Structure 1
Amino acid sequence: MPLYAELAAKPDVKYIAGGATQNSIRVAQWMLQEPNMTAYIGCIGSDKFGAALTDACKQDGVLAKYMVDASAPTGTCAVTILDKERSLTTNLSAANNYKVSHLQQAENLAVLEGAKVVYSAGFFITVSPESMEVASQAMLKSGGAYCMNLSAPFIVQVPPFRAVLEKLLPACDYLFGNETEAQAYAEAVGWDTTDVEFIAIRLSLVPMAGNKPNRKVVITQGAEPTIVAIKGKVTKYPVNQLSKEQLVDTNGAGDAFVGGFLAALIKGKDVAASCKAGSYAASIVIQHSGCTYPAKPDYTI
């Protein structure tokens, strides 16, 4: 890809471990500060970038259970920043090759079934919806929380992808997204509204599977309050405010919010405390390049 070669030739290029779900899990682990409280399952290539991701997880205390596909390079994403706003160019490669058979291996299934919380980004719908089905059903059986993210407008705009999302929704305890993604969903299903609170309410009222409690729909709005809909009722939670001078890079802010939220959830905290933890994590990450952070958080869950 010409852009990658051009960026790699620049003297100030930075290489940072990433990937939407992996960002969230690494941030959750950072917030928890207890080794192997989190695990990540995905697909990498047998190359230097795969080794970099493995090392990043090890250093962060994340238990990484990668499927390695030697036939494809590790997925990469070129991030260019102008006026502190990001533009992404992604080459999924090996990340697009994950197979449910890897998840069904005994050691990986044990990690899944032993989890209190499982999180899947909506992006994974394009890769292995079968794996998301296995994960959601495992949480349905164990009573753990299954969490998903809308991730991007195209996930809800493309009918086959939206169909997978809607199939998984009854087993979903926590649904994350931002206002743009929520509005894209409403448009795609013909709700004829851009009211984010109304959309969150309707998503929260989709019937749950089995004996699961009510779904929590969590919609972030950048610097505006986070919207949470539960049982048809909306509550707004403030986010940490930063000056323009403090902002470095918004890349990874949404992933970081989810990571902080999940860390609090793992600790048994309520939605208010989880939103507060998510806001803190996001506020730290946007003061750094990419989804990076200091050695330890100045925050106790």
Structure 2
Amino acid sequence: MSANYEGVLLGMGNPLLDISSVVDEAFLNKYDVKLNNAILAEDKHKPMYDELASNYNVEYIAGGATQNSIRVAQWMLQIPGATSYMGCIGKDKFGEEMKKKSTAGGVNVHYYEVDEPTGTCAVCVVGGERSLIANLSAANCYKSEHLKRPENWALVEKAKFIYIAGFFLTVSVDSILLVAEHAVAKNKVFAMNLSAPFICEFFRDAQEKTLPYCDYVFGNETEAKIFSKVRGWETESIEEIALKISALPKASGTHKRVTVITQGADPTVVAEDGKVTTFPVILLPKEKLIDTNGAGDSLWEDFCLNWSKRRA
């Protein structure tokens, strides 16, 4: 069984060292950060990272949306080398820490290393809810030349299921298209995530280029509403939006597109082939909720893990 699973899941994205801490609303207000949002760091956010490290009890985690998903999938599979991941890190201590944590978990990482600081992400937790402020740095430097190297392209050829979070649209659309076109040509499953409202709003052109290749599209209700708004669909109905996303033009007819939209504690909406199914969420007692960081990443990982088992 292990041989069948070798390299079955491939992820590409923005590897970020998460700096996670419980903070208060005053901290969020100080840096003009909204709860339950994900943004790219601006100059006004830069002092945040040092303040977190100096004044708060922080935890460092090898993160970034896609890397989170791949690491959890690897943990669930418990088969070394079943998952692979590519992204760009710096030649620094944070980069070494990233490599150490990812490889210790069994992920086959092929990082592109550059002379820029490793990317970081402030994970600010208030009342179990999180806000993400990403400073991409080295993660923003990924090039398709790295992907085309034989030892790296071999990971693409071996994979049966490829997942890329929408955040990578800000970095290397050409890399996404290379693997997406390969997935269509080889009848593999290709999935993406809407990832954040700002991706849907400000990176629409890049998103439009990659959506035709998507067999699966994941997102939450906030992202879905922005997706609808920028396209002039004039609806905030999650079910209707999910249906419309599923019906968008597709590069291959082999797999009908499935759209999965989460709504927090409300039912998850799944649209496929002109039909909508809703799935109730099993409520978690608040006292058992630590924080929501990585929740969406883990949902995708569980979904694709079941698919990989069926296809391996």
- TM-score, L = length of structure 1: 0.86
Partner residue, 1:201? 243
Partner residue, 1:178? 220
Gaps of 5+ in 2: 1-45
Tell me which amino acid in the other structure corresponds to 2:62: A
* Cα-to-partner distance string for 1:135-157 (whole Å, 9 max, x where unaligned): 10110111110100111111111
Q: Give the conservation status (yes or no) of the 8 Å contact 1:81–1:249.
A: yes
Matched, 1:17 2:28: no
- What is the alpha-carbon distance in structure 2 between the residues aligned to residue 238 and residue 114 of structure 1? 35
- What is the alpha-carbon distance in structure 2 between the residues aligned to residue 197 and residue 254 of structure 1? 18
Gaps of 5+ in 1: 270-301
Count of matched residue pairs: 266
Q: How does 1:51-62 map to 2 (within 5 A)?
A: 51-62=96-107
Q: Decide which structure has greater strand share.
A: 2
| 1:134 CA displacement | 0.3
Q: How does 1:142-153 map to 2 (within 5 A)?
A: 142-153=186-197
| 1:10 CA displacement | 3.1
Q: How does 1:120-135 map to 2 (within 5 A)?
A: 120-135=164-179
Tell me which amino acid in the other structure corresponds to 2:63: G
Q: How does 1:1-301 map to 2 (within 5 A)?
A: 1-10=46-55, 12-69=57-114, 71-158=115-202, 161-268=203-310
Higher relative contact order (CA 8 A, sep 6+): 2
- What is the alpha-carbon distance in structure 2 between the residues aligned to residue 197 and residue 112 of structure 1? 33
| 1:87 CA displacement | 2.2
| 1:11 CA displacement | 6.0
- SS for the counterpart of 1:268 is helix
* Cα-to-partner distance string for 1:259-290 (whole Å, 9 max, x where unaligned): 11111111118xxxxxxxxxxxxxxxxxxxxx
Q: Give the conservation status (yes or no) of the 8 Å contact 1:118–1:145.
A: yes
- What is the alpha-carbon distance in structure 2 between the residues aligned to residue 38 and residue 240 of structure 1? 28
- What is the alpha-carbon distance in structure 1 between the residues aligned to residue 89 and residue 125 of structure 2? 26
- The verdict on how the C-alpha distance between 1:210 and 1:73 changes in structure 2, with shifts beyond 3 A counting, is same
Tell me which amino acid in the other structure corresponds to 2:133: T
- What is the alpha-carbon distance in structure 1 between the residues aligned to residue 56 and residue 127 of structure 2? 20
* Cα-to-partner distance string for 1:188-223 (whole Å, 9 max, x where unaligned): 000000000000001111132134221010111112
RMSD: 1.3
Identity of aligned residues (%): 52
- TM-score, L = length of structure 2: 0.83
- The verdict on how the C-alpha distance between 1:11 and 1:195 changes in structure 2, with shifts beyond 3 A counting, is closer
- What is the alpha-carbon distance in structure 2 between the residues aligned to residue 237 and residue 56 of structure 1? 34
